[in-house]
Amino acid sequence: MSQADQQTYEFDDGIPIDPVPPGTNLLVTGSPLHGSRDLAMRLLGCSESEGLLLLSTDLRGVESIENFEASGCRYDTSRMAIVDCMQTSNDDETRNIHTVAAPSDLTGIGIVFSSLYEDLYGAGIDRVRTGLCTLDPLVMYTDKVQPLYRFLHTVTGRIRTANGLGVSVIDPAAQEGTTVQTLSQPFDARVELRKHDDGQRQLRVRGLDDQPSGWQDVDL
């Protein structure tokens, strides 16, 4: 393992999560109305030496780029790519957006994901942050949870083997408890997000050592 592979993945100062080891997969749980997507984009914000691979399941690729840049990051096509799973989208080479027929096509998503990951590594980028935003459409379009579980097991396994960082999002209020529990299994930890009546958002990390204990305030 190279020295670069051993470096932890860090987050910006506004996120109360300590650096995590390479190969870590995080599942953000919370309502999009409370900022779960915004939190995911902040976690995916990377340095100029890292790459980004974003699987966009409920927004067009260009909209995901807008969300990413709204979080304070710059989308760089030389080291970043999008898998667009919306049925109405088209490939966009200038933005490095690659389409899949539908969120239900887990095989197609997996093939494009693997190909783009290889492309980034082939370009000399050996630290990649992968975002899957969000799991909810995949649950809706998949008849049974087991195929989606196997898909997530494959994706998180690839990220783990490649010493990358994975960040996925699910809204537990929109899914059955058993579904969330099953789909959480391939991940190393959960980042839970909540919002108080006064509007203050808080998060806590469950499943990783050496993280702040309890709920922490976060501004999104």
* CATH code of residue 48: 3.40.50.300
Domain limits at 138?
A: 20-218
Sheet containing 201-206: which strands, arranged edge to edge?
97-99, 80-84, 51-56, 128-133, 165-170, 24-29, 189-195, 201-206, 216-218
Q: What is the residue-level pLDDT of the chain in tens, covering all 220 positions?
A: 444 447 999 999 899 999 999 999 999 999 999 999 999 999 999 889 999 999 999 999 999 999 999 999 999 999 999 999 987 778 999 999 999 988 999 999 999 999 999 999 999 999 999 999 999 999 999 888 999 999 999 999 999 999 999 999 999 999 999 999 999 999 999 999 999 888 899 999 999 999 998 999 999 8
pLDDT at 2: 43
**What is the DSSP secondary structure assignment for residue 99, as one 8-state letter?**
E
| Residue 1: inside a domain | no
| Residue 90: inside a domain | yes
| Residue 97: inside a domain | yes
Q: Into how many domains does the chain fold?
A: 1
pLDDT at 50: 96
| Residue 145: inside a domain | yes
pLDDT at 47: 86
| Residue 131: inside a domain | yes
pTM of the predicted model over 0.85:
yes
